[in-house]
Each structure stands twice: as C-alpha cells, then as structure tokens.
Amino acid sequence: MVDLPLNRKTWIIVADGEKALFLRNGKDVKNVHLETIHQMTQSNPATREQGTDKPGRFADGPSAHRSATEETDWHEISKRRFARDIAEALYAYAHKGEFERLIIVAPPLVLGEMRQEFHKEVTDRIVSEIPKTLTNHSTDDIKAIVEAS
C-alpha cells in the first residue's frame, strides 16, 4: 500500500510499450483527483508488419554448412526505445525538480526495460513499482489500484 500522500510532487507514471501517462494529483491530499500532465505515444505494430525480411544466414567456417540467424523482433526493439524515451523524459523532469516521489505502473517486461534506462536521479525518487498494465484504464481505476497497492 502506498502510504505516502499523493500530493502534487508525487507523480504516477502509467506505461506500456506504446503509451505513457504522467499523472499527478490536481487537488489536495484528501481529495485525490489524478490529472494527466504529459502523455507519450508511439506506434508499435507487430513485428510481422514492421519487417518482412527472411532470417539472415551465415557460413559455419570452411564447410558448406550455413546456419540461419534469428529474425529481428522489431516490436521488442521499439518497446526498448520507448522505455528509453520515457526514462529520458523523467530525467529531464527530475532534473528540473518537477517531482519528489515517483510511482511506476507498467507491465513487468516494460518495467524491467525502464529500470535499466533510469538515471540515478530518477531511481532515487521511486517509492513504488506496480507490475500491471493500466494504460487503458480510467484515472479513477488507476487511483484505486495505486492506493490499494
């Protein structure tokens, strides 16, 4: 359970591989009303729609044998880039002193990617991580889940 007050200096980031919402309480601590202060989106179609090349091949030395390489997962690469973009935006906000505490809500894989990209100035402010996909939920649902976590 998040025992810190959800004030204007506590931000909630709700993200997945294609969308990120930067939220904060627009009212007082007793009457929490989450408002979106920044939103990031990216188009990330399935790999089959992004890349159509067949897997590459390479020779296994002097023999005539050739091996295939794994097909590039463009969808996964795009998710990693988006996690890096979110981390860069958070660093810029943290550097300006826009937030004091941070709650991150993201699916486990995206959360892991974002963790790898976060600057120390951001990680020092994280007070809670919630491994869930909530980007398409209402702010009231997000508030209830954050307060219950």
Q: Supply the CATH number for residue 38's domain.
A: 3.30.420.60
**Is residue 101 assigned to a domain?**
yes
What pLDDT score was predicted for residue 27? 83
User: How far, in Å, CA of 87 to CA of 59, rounded?
Assistant: 39
pLDDT at 102: 95
The phi, psi pair for 129, rounded to 5°, reads -125, 130
Give the domain range for residue 121.
Answer: 10-45+71-148
For the chain, counts of helices (H) and of strands (E): 5, 7
- Residue 3 inside a domain? The answer is no
4 and 10 Cβ atoms separated by less than 8 Å: yes
The verdict on residue 55 lying in a domain is: no
Task: State in Å, rounded, how far the first CA of the chain is from the last one.
Answer: 4
pLDDT digits (tens, 9 = 90+) for 6-57: 888 899 999 998 899 999 988 887 888 899 999 998 865 555 555 555 655 5
pLDDT score, position 55: 59
- At residue 50, the pLDDT reads 53
Q: What is the value of pTM for the model shown? A: 0.77
The DSSP secondary-structure symbol of 96 reads T
79-132: pLDDT as tens digits: 888 999 999 999 999 999 999 999 999 999 889 999 999 999 999 999 999 999
Per-residue pLDDT, 5: 73
Is residue 64 assigned to a domain? no
Question: How many domains is the chain partitioned into structurally?
Answer: 1
Asked if residue 86 belongs to a domain, the reply is yes
Please indicate, yes or no, if residue 91 is contained in any of the structural domains: yes
Nearest Cα to 115, choosing from 134, 99, 136, 131? 131
